[in-house]
Amino acid sequence: MSHSQARALSLFDGAILRRAALDAVVKLDPRRLARNPVIFVTEVVAAVVTVIFVKDLVLGAGSPMFEGQIALWLWFTVLFANFAEAVAEGRGKAQADALRKTRSDTVAKRLLFPDGDDSLFEGVSSLDLELDDLVVCEPGDVIPADGEVVRGVASVNESAITGESAPVIRESGGDRSAVTGGTTVLSDRIVVRITAAPGSTFIDRMIALVEGASRQKTPNELALSILLSGLTLIFLITVVTLWGIAGYSGTVVSVTVLVALLVTLIPTTIGGLLSAIGIAGMDRLIRFNVVATSGRAVEAAGDVDTLLLDKTGTITFGNRMATEFVAVPGVGAAALAEAAWLASHADETPEGRSIVALAQGSGGAGPKSTADAVFVPFTAQTRLSGVDLPGRSIRKGAVDAVIRHLGTTLAETPAAFREAVDRIARTGGTPLAVSENGRLIGVIHLKDIVKPDIKERFAELRAMGIRTVMVTGDNPVTAAAIASEAGVDDFIAEATPQDKLAYIRSEQTHGRLIAMCGDGTNDAPALAQADVGVAMQSGTQAAREAGNMVDLDSNPTKLIEVVAIGKQLLMTRGSLTTFSIANDVAKYFAIIPALFVATWPELSRLNVMGLASPESAILSAVIFNALIIVALIPLALKGIAYRPVGAAAVLRRNLLVYGVGGLILPFVGIKAVDLVVAALHLA
Amino acid sequence: MTAIGWLQCLVVVALVLASVVPLGTHMARVYAGERTFLSPVFGPLERGFLHLAGERAVRPQSWLGYTLAMLVFNAAGFLLLYAILRIQGVLPLNPQGFDGVDPALAFNTAVSFVTNTNWQAYGGETTMSHLTQMVGLTVQNFLSAATGMALAAAMIRAFAKTGREALGNFWVDLTRSTLYVLLPLSIVLALAFVAFGMPQTLAGSVEATTLEGAKQIIALGPVASQEAIKELGTNGGGFFNANAAHPFENPTAITNALEIWALLAISAALTHTFGRMVGDKRQGWAILTVMAIILGGALVVAYWAEAGGNPLLTALGVDPTMGNMEGKEVRFGTAASSLYAIATTGTSTGAVNAMHESFMPLGGFMPLLLIKLGEIVPGGVGSGLFGILVIAVLTVFIAGLMVGRTPEYLGKKIEVKEMKLAMLAQLILPLSILGFTAVAAMLPTALASLANAGPHGLTELLYAYASATGNNGSAFAGLSANTPWFNSTLGIAMFLGRFGYVVPVMAMAGSLVVKTRGTASAGTFPTDGPLFVGLVVAVILILGGLQFFPAFALGPIVEHLLMATGRTF
């Protein structure tokens, strides 16, 4: 992740904070606040108390000092909530500005005759390009818009998007044909067919996403705001009816005090932080170099039940490696190792190199001279490679190919050879036969190497209730062996894209959510069908459009972290909601006795915190209510601590911290504020 | 508090628990449409009814169809009962020659019985003819209870089924609830009541000459049969004005125990039905545990308050060993009275064997609290179950997020639509209870009905509207409720509390039933363990408590604190 450091602005960067403070005031506009019912209600009642304050100040009636302070803190409550949202948006905005620079109007070289000569083009503004236009990009050119390479191959600097400065290869056909507007061609010449209209390119979408401009409330966020609005309404009923009920008891409760009660009861804490939590979740993902096309996708990531992981590159290293030499009886181990070394020393494939490394490790290396060796390269016809030396002819290859080369049959081979081949195949490896001068001398065991700590990762996922499914083109025997070594829960062997799609659909009919990643065009249907489809930035345009996330680092292992980020987002929301509601208990004990103590002095028994006076009790509750929002901004932005353990354990912990903590903390907090208020003679 | 008192409570609790599995299992078969051991007897009757209804009427219904059928049926029941009440004077079986009931009272009573509330603003034996009691009120006792049970069955199916449109068929559920559950249980229970000395006759009243030579008219009637369904269906409308405190409605300690069992039996057993139908019995036990914890806690407080006696009287030299006996029957004492009070308010019954108004402030607070919590522990037959399932959904939503997944209950995701409907339903309670109380508290007409001043009077008002909205029907007494104001507003409160609540809840069921039921994994929020039970209890107490705490503070809480200083009301 070192390459993305440049964009990892600190959470509380000075510039962001200054901008956020200004935005907090701008956001007071009731039309914007109406999106957030809890804070909107707070703003309305703050205005009401302000009017009362001004009226009492002018008329010299009531207690303007008290009313003024309540009004002030109510406005602070609204401002703090706005500030939280503004800080969360701040980093995104800074990032959007940087991205916007790359989008600046460039001159595109549009082909005059799409089917004809590539050298005849006209210069047009990139903003005037239309879908399916063909443009030419030469070294130094900025690619004008998203598109697909139709002719040629070029190295492209995509650091504007990915933060990764190493160039990538983009070529026509295959899975690396997609290019992104705003990236720069470094070498060679390509012809690109435009696939995105101006304004809807990848960069445009990214800007909109990081900026939060096109931010819609996600389904879960919406459901939660309905709960919060419902609670607000319930407390509104409670407070409004209290006026009548208190009237019966002979208490005339002032509007200011009722407002104070209302604001402390309605869930302002979570109401104020809700959108900040959502924005921060998206932001965490972006800093992780994954761009989600919607907040919905991030939430879905938290819900994922099954991860579909490609074997190669995710579970195993991309290449098979030699792990063992098995010599037939009568051939020394060192002799086999030496023959294998000779047959592979000129073989530049990763497998060949791994054979050389293994041979050197087992003492078979380093014959005197290889100057007169003639390397026999692999061909599709022979399916063999090897080396010819004076008096020696060594071949290695798939078992059937070597046997055919020797003009024999498997049944005629030595029993020990057959056993070794069987054993290797059974454990998921690939046996390579080695022959020298027309005689079988042994087997090389090539094996998929499972990434070192992947098994633990899968165990963590299992503890979180997430199944992992390995997808591979290998045969079932090989797949089963690797699956058991890597510790995945299930595998799909000899998988075709259709198999993937069918598997996803069948899981979904059982109500499970599936995440997968893919890069090829043939992955696109499955990516679109999956609930979370992470497309690799290096992949095809089709794949990138089918998925709902794009991984700029093109690292399929990241799927696991994406799930974690989704879960953390939901946990943060839930924990702060619980905290907010639990807070109300203490506020009641502060305000109710204060409210009615004049009528029923006996109710002072409920003043368990021993608050100084009714006014200071009410004021302290309101101040605490406002300050807690500020205090929780860092938590809302960073997300609560996340550990990959089972739901029951997570729940127990969060409940203890945020539920029980939420019950107790305000008793302490309100008392502390009350001490200060009383000491300063504020009320 | 005495050991014998606790023993009385334990026996009843044991009886209830013992019946949970057999009764719950039986009801699961009933709602699954399976054959039961009663099918040979009632099967022909059931087929007859449903044949009459026609094949189209008994097809599976969507939530809307189901709810509309329920509303139409209840509207018809209301009109019929209203008509009977108004014209009972010219109808037969009226040995005492009562006149028709006046419109406001008839409206109030009809709503009351159709909504399973059984709030009674009248004295039964001095107002209602036998025909009204039997054809009007008792029939509604069965049908309002069966309606609640049918709705609960539909709600259970919303979780049990996966990816379907239909919640079942209202007419089938209604018929089967009545024939296979309510009717047989009522027959057995009524016979038991008769055996223990309850009257069951069509005679009007007998005249007796007392020792002083005065004439006394003793009202009689088909008491046992009405008593059985009154308890089983959590109706609560007594034959007599004194309800189950009257010796003919509740002659002995044994009938008292049986009555308390009958109050709790079906509501408690429905949790098991729920567990069975969703295919995980532990889910049902978890819900039952929630109910038991709150009910048990309320019982301890109430019994403690009542057994302690009135400190003011004790100070005057009254022996406190009997506890606070004001308004209680000597044959029941404080333990059986407290238990009855808790059971009748925990379920939405409202029958009483002692006057709740004469309870100590905290003793009377518990019944009030149970009603305000929404009548869900264990609540009315059926209504208690779907009520607590709504709370379970809210709990799962608030707490479920903390495990990092979109909240789900029994594999059904709780999303925007469910939250909208659940919150809409939850809003009805404070709106009706606090809204009407606040208006009444400022209205001289309403205040004239109060028998007591100060916080106690406020408690009377709160209790009346809570009881009506919660479809409980018990009265805190002291309130003269047979006035146009109370008859109409309480009628509206009962209507809102039943139908205003049920319609959004059924819409939620309709939204849930179409969802695919996901399978549980280590990552899903476990809803069958102690943690969930504790959470639901906390949500019920905090959600209910926070809404009503200010009103409580001005009512029973301050009264309790004032009593300590020697002031009473």
Q: Are residues A384 and A407 in the same domain?
A: yes
By percentage, how much of chain B surpasses pLDDT 90? 56
Question: Reduced to 3 DSSP states, what percent helix, strand and coil does chain A have, rounded to the nearest 5?
Answer: 55, 15, 30
Does some domain include residue A660?
A: yes
User: Taking Cα atoms as reference points, which of A558, A568, A643 lies closest to residue A307?
Assistant: A558
For residues A83 and A108, the answer to whether their CB atoms sit within 8 Å is no
Q: Which amino acid is at B33?
A: G
Question: pLDDT digits over B100-116, tens only?
Answer: 899 999 999 999 999 99
Question: pLDDT digits over B523-539, tens only?
Answer: 788 899 899 999 999 99
Q: How confident is the model at residue A9 (pLDDT cuts 50, 70, 90)?
A: low
CA of B308 vs chain A CAs: smallest distance (Å) = 21
Question: pLDDT digits over A302-355, tens only?
Answer: 889 899 988 877 788 767 888 888 988 888 888 888 888 888 888 877 788 888
Q: What is the mean pLDDT of chain A?
A: 85
Tell me, what's the pLDDT at A213?
A: 53
Tell me, what's the pLDDT at A3?
A: 39
Q: Cα–Cα distances in Å, from B163 out to A502, B31, B381, B517?
A: 19, 19, 27, 7
Mean pLDDT of A149-169: 80
Report CB contact under 8 Å: A245, B525: no
From CA B238, how far away is CA B259, in angstroms rounded?
A: 12
Active site residues of A: 310
Does some domain include residue A1?
A: no
Q: Which domain holds residue A522?
A: 297-315+451-552
List the structure tokens of B156: 């259970």
Question: pLDDT digits over A119-141, tens only?
Answer: 788 888 877 888 888 899 888 88
Q: Are residues A391 and A359 in the same domain?
A: yes
From CA A90, how far away is CA A211, in angstroms rounded?
A: 8
Does some domain include residue A100?
A: no
Q: Which residue has the higher pLDDT, A242 or B96?
A: A242
Tell me, what's the pLDDT at A11?
A: 60
A396 is in an annotated binding site: yes
Q: Which residue has the higher pLDDT, B286 or B450?
A: B286
Residue B23 has pLDDT above 80, yes or no: yes
Q: Cα–Cα distances in Å, from A503 out to A266, A306, A469, A490, A538?
A: 46, 11, 10, 11, 25
Q: Are residues A114 and A201 in the same domain?
A: yes
Residue A369 has pLDDT above 70, yes or no: no
Tell me, what's the pLDDT at B517?
A: 87
Q: Which residue of B has its CA nearest to A599?
A: B554
Of A371-385, A386-400, A443-457, the least confident = A371-385
Report CB contact under 8 Å: A240, B526: no
Q: Which of residues 262-281 of A touch B (CB under 8 A)?
A: 265
Q: Give the DSSP letter string of B375-416.
A: STTTTSTTHHHHHHHHHHHHHHHHHHGGGTS--EETTEE--H
Residues of chain A in contact with residue B164, where contact means CB-CB under 8 angstroms, are: none
Which of A423, A446, A469 terminates a domain? The answer is: A446
Using the Cβ of A575 and the Cβ atoms of chain B, whether some distance falls under 8 Å is answered with yes
Tell me, what's the pLDDT at A4?
A: 40
Q: Are residues A423 and A478 in the same domain?
A: no
Tell me, what's the pLDDT at B404?
A: 87
Tell me, what's the pLDDT at B39?
A: 92
Using the Cβ of A186 and the Cβ atoms of chain B, whether some distance falls under 8 Å is answered with no
Q: How confident is the model at residue A6 (pLDDT cuts 50, 70, 90)?
A: very low
Q: Cα–Cα distances in Å, from A328 out to A121, A364, A444?
A: 66, 16, 11
From CA B522, how far away is CA A460, in angstroms rounded?
A: 11
Using the Cβ of A346 and the Cβ atoms of chain B, whether some distance falls under 8 Å is answered with no
Using the Cβ of A245 and the Cβ atoms of chain B, whether some distance falls under 8 Å is answered with yes
- What is the dihedral sign for C-alpha B145, B147, B150, B151? negative
Tell me, what's the pLDDT at A542?
A: 80
Of A364-373, A538-547, B16-25, the least confident = A364-373
A447 is in an annotated binding site: no
Q: Which residue has the higher pLDDT, A298 or B182?
A: B182
Does some domain include residue A304?
A: yes
Q: Which residue has the higher pLDDT, B287 or B324?
A: B287
A244 closest CB neighbour out of B419, B441, B538: B441
The phi, psi pair for A151, rounded to 5°, reads: -140, 140
From CA A267, how far away is CA A224, in angstroms rounded?
A: 11
Tell me, what's the pLDDT at A237?
A: 94
Q: How confident is the model at residue A253 (pLDDT cuts 50, 70, 90)?
A: confident
CA of A333 vs chain B CAs: smallest distance (Å) = 49
Residue A160 has pLDDT above 80, yes or no: no
Which of A446, A465, A498 terminates a domain? The answer is: A446
Q: Are residues A493 and A601 in the same domain?
A: no
Does some domain include residue A3?
A: no
The helix or strand, by DSSP H or E, that contains position A550, with its residue range, turns out to be strand A549-551
Residue A10 has pLDDT above 70, yes or no: no
Q: Are residues A568 and A646 in the same domain?
A: yes
Of A247-251, A516-520, B53-57, B510-514, the range with the highest mean pLDDT is B510-514
Number of CB pairs < 8 Å for A and B?
224
From CA A483, how far away is CA A86, in angstroms rounded?
A: 47
Mean pLDDT of B357-383: 89
Q: How confident is the model at residue A365 (pLDDT cuts 50, 70, 90)?
A: low
From CA B131, how far away is CA B30, in angstroms rounded?
A: 31
The phi, psi pair for A444, rounded to 5°, reads: -105, 130
Q: Which residue of A has its CA nearest to B423?
A: A230
Q: Which of residues 653-682 of A touch B (CB under 8 A)?
A: 654-655, 658-659
Does some domain include residue A6?
A: no
A58, exposed or middle or buried, with CB in 10 Å at 0-12, 13-18, 19+?
exposed
Q: Are residues A88 and A221 in the same domain?
A: yes
3-state secondary structure A464-497: CCCEEEEECCCCHHHHHHHHHHHCCCEEECCCCH
What's A408's domain CATH number? 3.40.1110.10
A244 closest CB neighbour out of B442, B521, B557: B442
A605 closest CB neighbour out of B430, B550, B561: B561
Using the Cβ of A220 and the Cβ atoms of chain B, whether some distance falls under 8 Å is answered with yes
From CA B454, how far away is CA A591, in angstroms rounded?
A: 21
A303 closest CB neighbour out of B405, B442, B550: B405
Q: Are residues A331 and A439 in the same domain?
A: yes
CA of A108 vs chain B CAs: smallest distance (Å) = 46
Report CB contact under 8 Å: A571, B564: no
Q: Which residue of B has its CA nearest to A565?
A: B404
Q: Give the DSSP letter string of B201-251.
A: -S--EEEEE-TTS-EEEEE--SHHHHHHHHHHTT----SSTTGGGSTTTS-
Q: Are residues A204 and A219 in the same domain?
A: no
Which of A413, A446, A479 terminates a domain? The answer is: A446
pTM of full prediction above 0.90: no
In sequence order, what are the residues at sequence separation of 6 or more whose Cβ sits closer than 8 angstroms to the Cβ of residue A588?
Answer: A265, B546, B549, B550
B528 DSSP assignment: S
Question: pLDDT digits over B426-439, tens only?
Answer: 999 899 999 999 99
For residues B347 and B330, the answer to whether their CB atoms sit within 8 Å is no
Does some domain include residue A4?
A: no
CA of A272 vs chain B CAs: smallest distance (Å) = 17
What's A538's domain CATH number? 3.40.50.1000
Mean pLDDT of B367-376: 89
From CA A164, how far away is CA A101, in angstroms rounded?
A: 17
Residues of chain A in contact with residue B521, where contact means CB-CB under 8 angstroms, are: 305, 465-467
Mean pLDDT of B136-140: 89
Using the Cβ of A587 and the Cβ atoms of chain B, whether some distance falls under 8 Å is answered with no
For residues A661 and A653, the answer to whether their CB atoms sit within 8 Å is no
For residues B475 and B241, the answer to whether their CB atoms sit within 8 Å is no
Report CB contact under 8 Å: B549, A462: no
Does some domain include residue A486?
A: yes
Q: How confident is the model at residue A556 (pLDDT cuts 50, 70, 90)?
A: confident
Report CB contact under 8 Å: A230, B426: yes
By percentage, how much of chain A surpasses pLDDT 90? 28
Other C-beta atoms lying within 10 Å of the C-beta of residue B283: 22
Mean pLDDT of A576-604: 88
List the structure tokens of A281: 């979740």
Mean pLDDT of B117-126: 83
Q: Which residue has the higher pLDDT, A421 or A623?
A: A623
Report CB contact under 8 Å: B529, A464: no
Number of domains observed in the structure of chain A:
4
B126 SS3 class: helix
B77 SS3 class: helix
From CA A461, how far away is CA B118, in angstroms rounded?
A: 54
ipTM of the complex: 0.91
Q: How confident is the model at residue A368 (pLDDT cuts 50, 70, 90)?
A: low
Residue B409 has pLDDT above 90, yes or no: yes
Question: pLDDT digits over A181-211, tens only?
Answer: 888 888 888 899 888 877 777 777 777 776 7
Question: pLDDT digits over A472-522, tens only?
Answer: 888 888 888 888 888 999 999 888 888 889 999 998 888 888 999 887 777
From CA A371, how far away is CA B16, in angstroms rounded?
A: 95
Q: Are strands A430-436 and A439-450 parallel, antiparallel or unpaired?
A: antiparallel
Q: Which amino acid is at A115?
A: D
Mean pLDDT of A224-230: 93
Mean pLDDT of A574-583: 93
For residues A302 and A562, the answer to whether their CB atoms sit within 8 Å is no
Tell me, what's the pLDDT at A12?
A: 66
Tell me, what's the pLDDT at B317?
A: 81
Residues of chain B in contact with residue A299, where contact means CB-CB under 8 angstroms, are: 406
